[in-house]
């Protein structure tokens, strides 16, 4: 891993040095390139870094995961989602960079809050998510090495790298030493966030993108996915059970009525038999007399 990161850093330095003509000041970046109309740029200590275009697989994964986050925040109002190329400033020991995570989360407990009309976030995000850009080795290394180091150093508590091919999908949380360590999903196949309580998902679902209607049958997702549909189904189940119970009571009532009718019929027949026996005995007495 250390050898890989050394190679990655070297490639990044080579890439940066080959683009010295793209050096711009931070002020110029904010004024001209932060909201550049033709493409999206991040800024790395004076150098522009273009964010590549996603492919359809990445976009499908992005949509599914964003939908999952939106479902979570409908139930647990603990923060807000940041996206749409909104960036934040990372002030590091030896440099400054400005990153635009594909998705990010800002908790309500964060000391800095994003205002409704803000176009950038002035604090440190609580969760950053990058959907892997691997058109070139430099783009791959930027997400897996450089941003990982930067996010850890500024104290982003969790960092997810989502690869639509599954080769470079990683989930990190910041430990007490300020170093990223992996969120373990080897045995369960489940990622459980430490930043978002009750937010969890299956690794295989990142690739298969199952419909949310099927997820509500999975106990893992039931705490937050399509709660309104779950409540609707629960209401329908209660109404069905009530109808079944009412039908059962009606059948029981009909059965009791039938039993009572049979009982009355039996009593009527017994009464007729008793009267007939009385008449027979009366007739016998008359003959003897």
DSSP 34-88: TT-SSSEEEEETTEEEEEPPP-HHHHHHHHHHHHHHHHHHHH--SEEEE-TT-EE
Instruction: Report the percent of the chain where pLDDT is more than 90.
Output: 65
So what's the pLDDT on residue 237? Answer: 76
Dihedral sign of CA atoms 203, 205, 207, 208 in order: positive
Rounded Cα gap, residues 218 and 204, in angstroms: 14
So what's the pLDDT on residue 199? Answer: 97
Pairing of the two strands 96-99 and 87-91: antiparallel
Domain boundaries, the chain: 2-225
Helix 56-75 vs helix 227-288: crossing angle, to nearest 10: 60
On the question of pLDDT at 158 being above 90, the answer is yes
Rounded Cα gap, residues 273 and 281, in angstroms: 12
Residue found under tokens 């629960």: 234
Instruction: State whether residue 196 is helix, strand or coil.
Output: coil
On the question of pLDDT at 52 being above 80, the answer is yes
Q: Is this model's pTM higher than 0.85 or not?
A: no
| Mean predicted confidence (pLDDT) in 25-29 | 96
Phi, psi of 141 (to 5 degrees): -70, -30
On the question of pLDDT at 13 being above 70, the answer is no
- Do 121 and 114 contact (CB within 8 A), yes or no? yes
Count of Cβ atoms closer than 10 Å to residue 88 Cβ: 23
Query: If you average pLDDT over each of 77-81, 131-135, 243-247, which comes out highest?
Result: 77-81
Does domain 2-225 bear CATH number 3.90.1570.10?
yes
Residue found under tokens 């870094």: 49
Question: Which DSSP category does 191 fall into?
Answer: E
Helices (H) and strands (E) in the chain, counts: 8, 13
| Mean predicted confidence (pLDDT) in 212-224 | 94
Instruction: State whether residue 221 is helix, strand or coil.
Output: coil
So what's the pLDDT on residue 201? Answer: 96
Phi, psi of 210 (to 5 degrees): -65, 155
Both tokens of 285, joined, read: 């007495």
Rounded Cα gap, residues 148 and 161, in angstroms: 9
Q: How many CA atoms does the CB half-sphere of 190 hold within 13 Å? A: 12
Residue 202 CB partners (closer than 8 Å, separation 6+): 189, 190, 191, 218, 220
Count of Cβ atoms closer than 10 Å to residue 29 Cβ: 19
So what's the pLDDT on residue 138? Answer: 87
So what's the pLDDT on residue 232? Answer: 82
Which of 10-14, 18-22, 61-65, 76-80 is predicted least confidently? 10-14
């Amino acid at each position: 891993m250390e050898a890989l990161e050394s190679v990655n850093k070297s490639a990044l330095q080579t890439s940066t040095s080959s683009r010295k003509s793209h050096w711009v000041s931070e002020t110029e970046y904010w004024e001209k390139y932060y909201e550049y109309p033709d493409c999206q740029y991040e800024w790395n200590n004076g150098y522009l870094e273009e964010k590549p275009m996603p492919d359809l697989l990445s976009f499908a994964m992005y949509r599914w995961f964003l939908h999952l986050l939106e479902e979570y925040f409908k139930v647990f109002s603990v923060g807000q989602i940041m996206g749409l190329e909104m960036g934040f400033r990372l002030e590091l020991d030896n440099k400054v960079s400005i990153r635009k995570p594909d998705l990010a989360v800002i908790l309500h407990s964060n000391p800095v809050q994003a205002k409704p009309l803000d176009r950038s976030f002035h604090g440190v995000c609580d969760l950053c998510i990058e959907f892997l850009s691997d058109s070139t080795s430099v783009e791959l290394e930027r997400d897996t090495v450089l941003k990982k180091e930067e996010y850890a150093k500024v104290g982003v508590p969790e960092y997810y790298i989502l690869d639509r091919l599954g080769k470079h999908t990683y989930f990190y949380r910041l430990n007490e030493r300020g170093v990223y360590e992996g969120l373990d999903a080897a045995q369960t196949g489940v990622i459980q966030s430490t930043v978002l309580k009750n937010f969890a998902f299956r690794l295989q679902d990142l690739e298969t993108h199952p419909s949310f209607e099927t997820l509500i049958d999975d106990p893992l997702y039931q705490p937050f996915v399509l709660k309104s549909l779950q409540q609707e189904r629960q209401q329908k189940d209660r109404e069905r059970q009530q109808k079944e119970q009412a039908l059962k009571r009606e059948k029981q009532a009909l059965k009791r009525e039938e039993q009572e009718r049979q009982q009355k019929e039996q009593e009527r027949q017994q009464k007729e038999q008793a009267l007939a026996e009385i008449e027979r005995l009366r007739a016998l007495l008359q003959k003897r007399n």
